[in-house]
């Protein structure tokens, strides 16, 4: 079928198509006028998913942000939140709701409160605004004021329940960490008691650097071996001698820039004289003490050898004591970390932080969101037009008529000629010109 044939069929059934379009549009308009109006109120809350937690300092990674957002959307439409809204608005005490429920109540429906929560859930819609971390909570109702109240109540219930969830989780975890901390503390006390008993039984005391007294004495004696020779006592330098060496260096430096009678240089020379006398006395005392120690006891080498023997004799006991100390250090570190985490969770359990920011209250809508009369009438008109076209084509196929010479080509009958009246000819020329074909020359 050519376009011209198709146009002829539609033109022949134009009245049917127009009536079908007008009928569908009118019916849709009447239905839209009879349908009760519904109003949508919107309340928004921002998810602080990109901010660190003020207590724990934790930040949700981008890979979990989407899952977290979807979870929050599902939670808002959960029956626990809807039940909190029902309780907050006092719907269970309203006679109109009670009468409506009694008319359609049936066994096993969950009761009156469950029925009210289903109303809240069924009229609630939550979505994430594109490109933001803002949740839009909307509620649809036949009353704009009721829609506003329920939208705000939903947001309030969501924030309160979020705080309750965080507190419950933190309190439960804090209790577990405290129990673990108390167990570690008991183990630490027992380990310290075992170490103390072992030290008393073996006469060994482990110092802060994990060394015992004999090992420390051996280390001190070993440091003196390179400075001693058999039979020769070399006293150590006294503090006064060290100060005297520094003062001599200062005098030598100042002599190059100051005169010999400069007051500062004279004062330094006097101080040197007194410091030299003090150093001489200290040197003499140290020499006498060293000689007395050398003459009345073993040499340094002998003392080192004897001390090494005592250390080697207690090596196994010292190693065992060090193992005990290592266990104590590990238990102490674990106890501190666990109890610190318990304290942190305890603070979180008493915090009012929800990780949410409320962005203003809902506003009662001034216009209904449904029914959208222009949209409904427009869609109905398009449906009516399509229906009219189908009816026209179906009618034509059931009762085919010859409307032009092109229709005879389908039957195989030859076309001898076409007689067209003057008005029909002018009409055809106008149609062809409107369709873009060149206007034929006049006969």
pLDDT, mean of each 10-residue run, the chain (443 residues): 77 89 92 87 84 56 74 88 90 90 83 91 91 90 91 92 89 93 93 88 72 63 51 48 72 72 78 79 59 51 65 75 86 92 89 83 83 89 93 83 68 66 57 58 48
In 3D space, the residue among 42, 43, 40, 44 whose CA is nearest the CA of residue 141 turns out to be 40
CA 127 to chain centre: 19
CB 46 within 8 A of CB 356: yes
CB 162 within 8 A of CB 93: no
Instruction: Tally Cβ neighbours within 10 Å of residue 347.
Output: 13
pLDDT value at position 137? 93
CB 25 within 8 A of CB 380: yes
Question: Is the omega angle on the peptide bond into residue 242 within 30 degrees of 0, that is, cis?
Answer: no
What is the Cα–Cα distance from 403 to 390, expressed in whole angstroms?
19
**Burial (CB count <10 Å: 0-12, 13-18, 19+), residue 321:** buried
* Sign of the dihedral through C-alpha 392, 397, 401, 404: positive
Q: How many residues in total does the chain contain?
A: 443
pLDDT value at position 296? 47
CB 380 within 8 A of CB 27: yes
* Sign of the dihedral through C-alpha 225, 231, 233, 234: negative
CB 350 within 8 A of CB 167: yes
Task: Give 125's contacts (C-beta < 8 A, 6+ positions apart).
Answer: 137, 138, 139, 140
The β-bridge relationship of strands 39-47 and 134-141 is: antiparallel
pLDDT value at position 337? 92
DSSP conformation class of 232: B
Interior CA angle at 125 toward 119 and 128, to 5°? 160
Task: Give 236's contacts (C-beta < 8 A, 6+ positions apart).
Answer: 227, 286
What is the Cα–Cα distance from 362 to 140, expressed in whole angstroms?
12
pLDDT value at position 385? 93
In 3D space, the residue among 85, 98, 203, 104 whose CA is nearest the CA of residue 154 turns out to be 85
CB 340 within 8 A of CB 1: no
What is the Cα–Cα distance from 76 to 44, expressed in whole angstroms?
12
CB 329 within 8 A of CB 126: no
Q: What's the count of helices (H) and strands (E) in the chain, helices before strands? A: 15, 4
pLDDT value at position 348? 85
pLDDT value at position 260? 73
Expressed in percent and rounded to 5, the helix, strand and coil fractions of the chain are 65, 5, 25
What is the Cα–Cα distance from 325 to 404, expressed in whole angstroms?
111
Domain boundaries, given as residue ranges, for the chain: 3-34+371-434, 36-204+319-370, 207-318
CATH label, 36-204+319-370, candidates 3.30.1890, 1.10.3470, 2.60.120, 2.40.10: 3.30.1890
DSSP 140-206: EESSHHHHHHHHHHHHHHHHHHHHHHHHHHHHHHHHHHHHHHHHHHHHHHHHHHHHHHHHHHHT--B
């Amino acid at each position: 079928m050519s376009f011209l044939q198709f146009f002829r069929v539609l033109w022949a059934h134009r009245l049917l198509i127009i009536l079908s379009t007008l009928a569908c549009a009118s019916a849709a308009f009447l239905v839209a006028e009879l349908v009760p109006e519904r109003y949508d109120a919107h309340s928004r809350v921002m998810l602080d998913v990109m901010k660190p937690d003020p207590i724990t300092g934790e930040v949700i990674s981008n890979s979990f942000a989407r899952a977290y957002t979807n979870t929050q959307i599902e939670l808002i439409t959960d029956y626990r939140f809807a039940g909190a809204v029902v309780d907050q608005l006092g719907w269970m005490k309203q006679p109109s709701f009670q009468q409506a429920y009694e008319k359609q109540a049936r066994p096993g429906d969950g009761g009156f409160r469950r029925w009210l929560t289903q109303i809240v859930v069924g009229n609630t819609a939550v979505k994430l605004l594109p490109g933001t971390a803002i949740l839009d909570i909307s509620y649809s109702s036949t009353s704009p004021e009721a829609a506003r109240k329920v939208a705000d109540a939903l947001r309030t219930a969501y924030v309160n329940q979020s705080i309750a969830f965080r507190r419950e989780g933190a309190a439960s975890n804090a209790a577990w960490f405290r129990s673990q901390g108390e167990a570690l503390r008991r183990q630490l006390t027992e380990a310290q008691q075992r170490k103390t008993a072992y030290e008393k039984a073996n006469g060994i005391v482990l110092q802060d650097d994990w060394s015992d007294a004999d090992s420390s004495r051996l280390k001190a004696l070993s440091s003196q071996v390179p400075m001693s020779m058999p039979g020769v006592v070399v006293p150590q330098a006294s503090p006064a001698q060290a100060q005297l060496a520094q003062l001599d260096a200062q005098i030598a430096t100042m002599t190059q820039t100051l005169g010999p009678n400069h007051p500062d240089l004279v004062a330094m020379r006097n101080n040197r004289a007194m410091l030299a006398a003090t150093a001489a006395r200290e040197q003499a005392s140290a020499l006498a003490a060293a000689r007395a120690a050398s003459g009345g006891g073993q040499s340094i080498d002998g003392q080192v050898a004897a001390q090494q023997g005592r250390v080697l004799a207690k090596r196994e006991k010292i190693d065992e004591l060090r193992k005990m100390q290592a266990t104590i250090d590990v238990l102490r570190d674990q106890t501190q970390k666990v109890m610190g985490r318990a304290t942190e969770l305890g603070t979180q359990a008493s915090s009012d932080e929800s990780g949410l920011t409320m962005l203003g209250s809902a506003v009662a809508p001034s216009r209904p969101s449904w029914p959208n009369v222009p949209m409904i009438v427009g869609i109905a008109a398009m449906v009516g037009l399509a229906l009219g076209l189908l009816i026209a084509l179906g009618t034509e196929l059931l009762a085919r008529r010859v409307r032009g010479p092109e229709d005879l080509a389908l039957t195989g009958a030859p076309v001898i000629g076409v007689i067209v009246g003057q008005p029909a000819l002018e009409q055809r020329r106008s149609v062809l010109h409107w369709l873009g074909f060149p206007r034929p020359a006049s006969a």
